[in-house]
Amino acid sequence: MADTRETLLSLTDYSVAFDTPDGVVQAVSNLDLDIAPGETVAVVGESGSGKSQTFNGVFGLLARNARTGGAVNFLGRDLLSLSSKELDKVRGRDMAMVFQDPMTALNPAMKIKRQLAETLEIHRGKSRREAEREALQMLKQVGIPDAERRINQYPHELSGGMRQRVVIAMALLCQPKLIVADEPTTALDVTIQAQILDLFRDLTQSFRTALVLITHDLGVVAGIADRVAVMYAGRIVEEGKVDDLFSRPAMPYTAALMRSIPRVDREAEAVEPIPGRPPNLIHPPSGCPFHPRCRFAEEKCVRERPPLGEVSAGRRAACWFPFIDAEAGTGGENALAETANV
């Protein structure tokens, strides 16, 4: 990555491990990721690839048996070294999280307005009345019809899409610099998904908020993200601008991921599942973690782990044999076509 870029959040050599009775699960290993102010970064990967745990760790929400390593620099502070009290002053104010399931992310015993006002009262020291007025304004901004009445209701009286809007409003209230949305559309149906994504795009633009979108839905990524980081077995295996990465994946895993989603403009048979299973993170495979499932794997892949290196401008990939030639910076398109024929 270019060093001149301003960064908001930077993860350096960041790891998350869990002590379990079966051994140590290395959920995230030696991860490096920078997020610039105002940009939208999608983190993509299969279940268990460590994408959620990465950011749970950033927010200090890991389970008791978790250990973190490396550094998480946010606005010039190392979040991992903060006490939970100091962390409470950052969480919600400078960075906020939107959870996957709006059905459970709201407290059923609290009125919408109390839940919204809570963060404002804590972080901005607003009075109850003032906080509730701002909450109402934010509800209107996230497009909730009849907000004056809705704000006095309880979560179970709202539909799923509306609840997700409330959750987003809650995250935006303190105007944080970073929002992490952990699969914000997975629990919603397709038409609502699109509305919510539009909302995210509009609001992050107008508030100049950086957005980290954790998802396994590549369709979501294409529509909204600036940059994509693909995670596999707790590591970033490829990272780059969304259009580059989609049109010319450098790493076989990304290419395989792309071919495993059904698309309207292709035959149904063209969908190819990735063979095999995600690796066991207690005993990760030697060398490149993807080699047991990669059909381009050679002996070197089994022996040595490829570093996450620059393959072309603004593109990083962890692969010994990337489809993009590091010098020429081309050939990706051919490679994608080629892989489809193999």
Partner 1 sequence: MTLYVDKREALEKRFLVPDTEMPAGKPRSLMRDAMRRLRANKAAVGAIIVLSLIIILAVLGPYFIPYDYETPDWGAFRAPPDFASGHYFGTDQNGRDLLARVLYGTRVSLTVAIIATSVSVTVGVLYGSVAGFVGGRTDQAMMRFVDVMYALPYLLFVILLMVMFGRNVFLLFAAIGLLEWLTMARIVRGQTLSLKEREFVEAARASGVSTLPIILRHIVPNLVGPVVIYATLTIPEIVITESFLSYLGFGVQEPLTSLGTLISEGASVIQVMPWLLFFPGAVLVSLLLSFAFIGDGLRDAFDPKDR
Query: Which chain residues interact with partner 1 by CB under 8 A?
Result: 59-61, 64, 84-85, 87-93, 96-97, 99-101, 104-111, 114, 118-119, 122-123, 145-146, 149, 152-154, 156-157, 167, 170-171, 190-191, 193-195, 218-219, 222-223, 263-264
Question: Which residue from 293, 267, 297 is spatially nearest to 278, judged by alpha carbons?
Answer: 293
CB of 261 to partner 1, least distance (A): 8
- Tell me which residue of 20, 121, 9 sits closest to 58, measured CA to CA: 9
Residue number with CB closer to partner 1 (271 or 282): 271
CB-based contacts of 14: which residues, under 8 Å, 6+ apart? 28, 30, 31, 32, 33, 54, 57, 68, 69, 70, 71, 72
**CA distance linking residue 81 with residue 272, whole number of Å:** 44
The residue assigned the tokens 């979040």 is: 79
C-beta closer to partner 1: residue 66 or 194: 194
Which residues have a Cβ under 8 Å from the Cβ of 324 and sit 6 or more positions away? Answer: 248, 250, 311, 312, 315, 317, 330, 331, 332, 335
If the CB atoms of residues 47 and 84 are measured against partner 1, the closer one turns out to be 84
Considering the complex, state which of residue 282 and residue 340 has its C-beta at the smaller distance from partner 1: 340
Of 191 and 341, which CB lies nearer to partner 1 in the complex structure? 191
Find the shortest distance in angstroms from Cβ 123 to partner 1.
Answer: 6
CB of 90 to partner 1, least distance (A): 7
Least distance from partner 1 to the Cβ atom of residue 9, Å: 15
CB of 300 to partner 1, least distance (A): 34
